[in-house]
């Protein structure tokens, strides 16, 4: 038998099923009535060398709806737990099935998961399904994040199922194919630490390190090193969110990915006017997951993660606690430094110095005070094109602007400054009103606005693009805008 990969094969691996059985349940997706492709990501398919899908769209419909399973796949749903809004719960893939793993062109192992694919042993009271609109929302925002250079799960396709799902209304159903470095979450560690043996926890930890952090393999303190690495990736991730005004919306520990990708695009949204307290999620009444509380929650989630590793850090509980605390104690300083470096870059400063802190904070004060658009401001600053904006004429802003001009002149020549600014500040983000409008139209069968928006957000740093008024938010839109989980 030849092991060579034929051009037409989907070559599926199933490394997760070699782990302790308590970590998953074997389950098939539930077939759907009348699958139709709403969107398929050709460039991602090429990256994954899914040539057969590119050559034969019938296969997309069959395999990516869950109606057929590729040869070699042993589909499973993964078990996990999590702290939701601070409260521990047993969870698991209630509406997702992992078809298996693929190797990308870059030789990375990635998960291929169907979401909205029917009931599983973890579905609890849920129907295991998803609405077409919510899966398309995940598709467009995750792709936008990818092009904003932010680590994220990706979307390969959305299939309209031809079946209705019952929420407050009867809605079109959809299945998303999600590609992720893996779907291992802080909540997966919580599940293993609470329900499995210490040996199983060690086995699982080794699997995670081998898959995601192979450079740590020689270390004799694997759990501690893992905690440090996961912490650094989370810091980088959240700093990136703050760079573009992204609000995840539901940073429960089950939605925090161990490889450090943005995962679970439920009630997420983008902030328009700068306000650190911005929340859009309908269920986040106390602002736990507000824009500027995200770094604090990152720390909170990492503390939970550290807790799951204590039993394998050392045999002495007190010592383990000390080690974990020492790692976590560096979070705040590390975060603050990386955040300042990022903000400085948004201002065209390559070499952040302590003295820049005041200028950055003053700008954010002004942005909040004058409700300035967080994205458009930096683009306008780059073009030096503030026209008709009330805040520009204020003495406060004029003073700030003079300081900034002097500062960037010291730093670099102006083409260097513009280059840095252009690489950090997108000219387009998936504005909430555009996303919602596009989704309404696709649901009615018209894909035009969706495709147009997808194209726009796939090139967000192209300062040559003529975006007209595409990034102007309708008055008062945000005041009533709400996002929802689990639709
Ligand atoms: P999420 O809010 O998407 O992070 O989901 C939290 C938990 O609820 C996960 O265990 C999901 O699998 C589960 N879940 C969400 N929607 C459904 C559904 N329609 N049917 C079954 N389980 C669901
Ligand atoms: Mg989730």
Q: Return the pLDDT at 7.
A: 45
User: What distance in Å separates the CA atoms of residue 176 and residue 294, rounded to the nearest whole number?
Assistant: 26
Q: Nearest Cα to 292, choosing from 335, 354, 233?
A: 335
Asked if 254 is an active-site residue, the reply is yes
Distance CA 366, CA 442 (A): 39
Beta bridge partners of 107: none
pLDDT, residue 9, reads 64
Q: What pLDDT is attached to residue 15? A: 98
Tokens found for residue 485: 């989980």
Indicate the helix (H) or strand (E) that contains 452: helix 448-457
Token couple for 283: 């269920």
- Protein residue closest via CA to atom 7 of ligand 1: 91
Residues with CB under 5 A from ligand 2 (ion): 255, 264
How is residue 39 written in tokens?
């969107």
Q: How many beta carbons lie within 10 A of that of residue 30, not counting itself?
A: 18
Q: Which ligand gives the minimal distance to the CA of 79? A: 1
What confidence score (pLDDT) does residue 457 get? Answer: 97
Q: Which of 47, 254, 264, 478 is catalytic?
A: 254
The pTM score is 0.97
Report the nearest atom of ligand 1 relative to the CA of 128. Answer: 20
* pLDDT tens, residue by residue, 56-101: 999 999 999 999 999 999 999 999 999 999 999 999 999 999 999 9
Residue matched to tokens 């129907």:
127
Binding site membership of 138 for ligand 1 (Cβ less than 6 Å): no
Low-confidence ranges of the chain (pLDDT < 70): 1-9
pLDDT score of 3: 42
Distance set, CA 97 to CA 120, 177, 183, 237, 440 (Å): 8, 10, 11, 26, 27
Q: Does the CB atom of residue 264 touch ligand 1 within 6 A?
A: yes
Q: Whose CA is nearest to atom 22 of ligand 1?
A: 94
pLDDT of residue 59: 95
Q: What's the token pair of residue 447?
A: 């894909």
Instruction: Give pLDDT, residue 8.
Output: 44
Instruction: For residue 472, give both structure tokens.
Output: 């102007």
- Judge if the beta carbon of residue 90 lies within 6 A of ligand 1: no
Tokens of 242: 């703050």
Q: Summarize pLDDT for 215-246 with one digit per residue, the tens.
A: 999 999 999 999 999 999 999 999 999 999 99
Residue of 351, 442, 429 whose CA lies nearest to 131? 442
Which residue, by CA, sits nearest to atom 1 of ligand 1?
486
């Amino acid at each position: 038998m030849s092991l060579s990969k034929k051009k037409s094969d989907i070559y599926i691996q199933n490394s997760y099923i070699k782990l302790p059985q308590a970590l998953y349940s074997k389950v098939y997706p539930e077939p759907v009535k009348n699958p139709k492709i709403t969107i398929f990501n050709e460039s991602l398919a090429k990256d994954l060398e899914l040539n057969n899908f590119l050559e034969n769209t019938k296969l997309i419909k069959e395999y990516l709806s869950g109606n057929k399973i590729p040869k070699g796949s042993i589909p499973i749903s993964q078990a996990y737990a999590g702290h939701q809004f601070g409260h521990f719960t047993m969870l698991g893939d209630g509406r997702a099935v992992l078809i298996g793993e693929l190797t990308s062109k870059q030789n990375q192992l990635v998960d291929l998961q169907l979401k909205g694919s029917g009931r599983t042993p973890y579905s609890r009271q849920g129907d295991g399904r998803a609405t077409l609109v919510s899966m398309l929302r995940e598709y467009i925002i995750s792709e936008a994040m990818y092009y904003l250079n932010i680590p994220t799960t990706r979307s390969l396709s959305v299939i309209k199922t031809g079946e209705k799902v019952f929420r407050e209304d009867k809605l079109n159903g959809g299945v998303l194919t999600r590609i992720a470095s893996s779907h291992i979450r802080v909540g997966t560690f919580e599940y293993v630490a609470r329900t499995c043996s210490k040996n199983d926890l060690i086995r699982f930890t080794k699997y995670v390190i081998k898959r995601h952090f192979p450079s740590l393999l020689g270390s004799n303190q694997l759990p501690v090193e893992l905690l440090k690495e996961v912490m650094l990736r989370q810091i980088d991730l959240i700093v990136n969110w703050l760079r573009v005004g992204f609000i995840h919306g539901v940073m429960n520990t089950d939605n925090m990915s161990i490889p450090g990708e943005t995962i679970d695009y439920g009630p997420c949204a983008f902030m328009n006017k700068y306000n650190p307290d911005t929340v859009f999620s309908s269920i986040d009444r106390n602002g736990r997951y507000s824009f500027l509380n995200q770094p604090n929650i990152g720390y909170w989630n990492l503390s939970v993660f550290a807790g799951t590793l204590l039993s394998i850090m050392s045999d002495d509980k007190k010592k383990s606690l000390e080690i974990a605390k020492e790692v976590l104690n560096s979070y705040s300083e590390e975060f603050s430094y990386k955040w300042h470096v990022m903000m400085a870059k948004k201002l065209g400063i390559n070499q952040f110095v302590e003295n820049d802190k005041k200028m950055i904070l003053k700008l954010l004060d002004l942005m909040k005070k004058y409700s300035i658009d967080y994205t458009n401001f930096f683009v306008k600053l780059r073009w030096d094109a503030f026209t008709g904006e009330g805040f520009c004429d204020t003495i406060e802003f004029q003073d700030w602007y003079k300081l900034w001009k002097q500062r960037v002149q010291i730093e670099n020549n102006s083409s260097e400054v513009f280059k840095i600014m252009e690489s950090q500040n997108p000219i387009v983000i998936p504005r909430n009103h555009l996303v919602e409008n596009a989704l309404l139209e696709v649901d009615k069968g018209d894909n035009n606005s969706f495709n147009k928006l997808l194209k726009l957000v796939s090139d967000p740093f192209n300062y040559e693009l003529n975006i007209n008024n595409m990034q102007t938010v309708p008055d008062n839109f945000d005041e009533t805008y709400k996002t929802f989980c689990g639709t």
